Amino acid sequence: MSLTDTDTFAADWADWHAQHEAARADRHGFLAITGLHWLTGEPQRLDGAPGEWWTGADGPVVRLADGEELVVDGQPVHGEHAFGVIPERGGVTVGYGDAVIEVARRGGSDVVRPRHPSNPVLVGYPGTPAYPADPRWALTGRYVPFDEPRPTTVGAVVEGLQHVYDAPGRIEFTLDGQQLALTAFNGSTPGSLFVLFTDETSGVTTYAANRSVQVAPPAADGTVTLDLNRATNLPCAYTAFATCPLPPAENHLPVAVEAGEKKPVG
């Protein structure tokens, strides 16, 4: 790769990371979360949210007192409101003044997470340091689909919580002469993949629990680009109110991946 190509590679990475940082610092993003509340069958008032909340077989319910209001699908709601059954890893977001209230299901339980733009974690966010972009970490790999998607149970940063993902296949690649592979999960767009991993920098210069990489849909011959320069921290690196999954045990790389995002400042 020529010097000009290297400069272009670094500039493209800088643009991508700036956009990623802007999304992370969204006024209603993960940095705005002020609490993680696990709902039970008993009505309870929650810090940072109006009303009394509970859940059951028919899903979460809130009962708002006189003078309290939520905005659901653009419409003001008063009194009692049922959200219905929320699917695993699904959720809805409703308005509350300049804040929003996330109502979601994680690990088989319904949760509520208020997100306030005034949260000090968001207001004081200094940005995330990262390794300089280096083309050597943009690896060409091969996606190998499993005969059938494999239900894969992984732990979470919340003690006792587990996540189950269907793993459609693995990504095989060579790094520093070693033949390596990573179990991949389905990405957020059709055909795309994402990978959770740790490596020999984890807990040293990078966040200990996990990092993730998004992978574009494989080519017809299975070729993929695994760009470890774009390894990012999950929300749990910044807030105690996240339920992020941990990587599968086989997704620890026995090399120091000195690429992508480092530990958050502070």
Task: Give the mean pLDDT of 115-127.
Answer: 97
Of the pLDDT bands very low, low, confident and very high (cuts 50, 70, 90), residue 5 is confident
Examine residue 3 and state whether it is found in any structural domain, yes or no.
no
Q: What is the DSSP letter of 64?
A: P
Same domain for 197 and 137 = yes
Q: Are residues 245 and 157 in the same domain?
A: yes
Domain boundary at 79, 101, 123, which? 123
CA distances from 138 to 91, 104, 115, 248 (A): 34, 35, 35, 22
Q: Which of 123, 147, 165 is the last residue of a domain?
A: 123
Whether residue 178 is found in the same domain as residue 140: yes
Band of residue 4 on the pLDDT scale cut at 50, 70, 90:
low
In a domain, 246, yes or no: yes
Joined together, the tokens standing for residue 4 give 């000009």
Is residue 2 domain-resident? Answer: no
Q: Which of 94, 16, 29 is nearest to 234 (CA)?
A: 29
AA identity, residue 107: G
Residue with tokens 């309870």: 44
pLDDT of residue 160: 84
Segment 207-241, tens digit of pLDDT: 999 999 999 999 999 999 999 999 999 999 999 99
Q: Are residues 78 and 145 in the same domain?
A: no
Residues 6+ apart with CB under 8 A from 231: 197, 206, 211, 212, 213, 257, 259, 260, 261
- What average pLDDT is seen over the chain? 95
Of 98, 123, 148, which marks where a domain is finished?
123
34 pLDDT above the threshold of 60: yes
Range of the domain at 46: 30-123
| Residues 195 and 240 occupy one common structural domain | yes
Mean pLDDT, to the nearest integer, of 50-56? 97
Residues 147 and 233 both lie in one domain: yes
What would the two tokens of residue 233 be?
Answer: 């921290």
| In the predicted structure, residue 38 carries a pLDDT above the cut 50 | yes
Edge-first strand listing for the sheet containing 37-38 = 37-38, 109-115, 99-106, 91-96, 70-72, 75-77
Within the chain, how many helices (H) and strands (E) appear?
A: 2, 16
Write down the pLDDT at residue 2.
Answer: 46
- List 153's β-bridge partners, or say none: 164
Of the chain, the end-to-end C-alpha distance in Å amounts to: 36
- 5 belongs to a structural domain: no
